[in-house]
A = this chain, B = another copy of it.
Amino acid sequence: MRIGQLAQSVGVDTQTIRFYERQGLLPPPGRQENGYRVYTEKHVERLAFIRRCRILDLSLAEIHELKRYQDDPHQSCTAVNALLDDHISHVRSQITALQALEKQLVSLRASCNDDREVEACGVLAGISEGNMHQQ
């Protein structure tokens, strides 16, 4: 299988595949005589795994870490679970931060209607004076 077919079957750009290879996430495939990359089913699985991790918003570094665990299948999976727990707390704190931000923005927005001149705009005034209900 060549790179285009792999790309299509997993739903990724060919550039991204070469990028993952350079990053050491996808093992370098064999080559044809003309230099074209040749992939196997294992590559398909591996790439699909990476993409599913990315959907979960795991970083490439975290995916690397998971790969290392997979390479030593008889150790305890505590570290895998810990990685996921850390990631969950990370996502939760992002959510909390964005919710606080939303509140701030909504309250700022409430300080203006559309029928003013920029000079008198409640939103711009709110930012300029720092009336932003911090935290």
Contacts and interface: CB of A to CB of B under 8 A. Distances in A.
Nearest to A104: B56
B87 A118 contact: no
Q: Is the interface of A mostly helix, strand, loop or mixed?
A: helix
B45 A77 contact: no
Interface stretch (A17-25, A26-34, A78-86): A78-86
B57 A101 contact: yes
Interface string A94-135: 110011011011101100111111111101100110101000
Stoichiometry, as copies per complex, reads 2
Contacts of A101: 56-57, 91
How extensive is the interface on chain A, given as a class?
A: 35 or more
A55 interface: yes
Contacts of A123: 77, 80-81, 84
A2 interface: no
Contact of A94 (B55, B74, B98, B132): B98
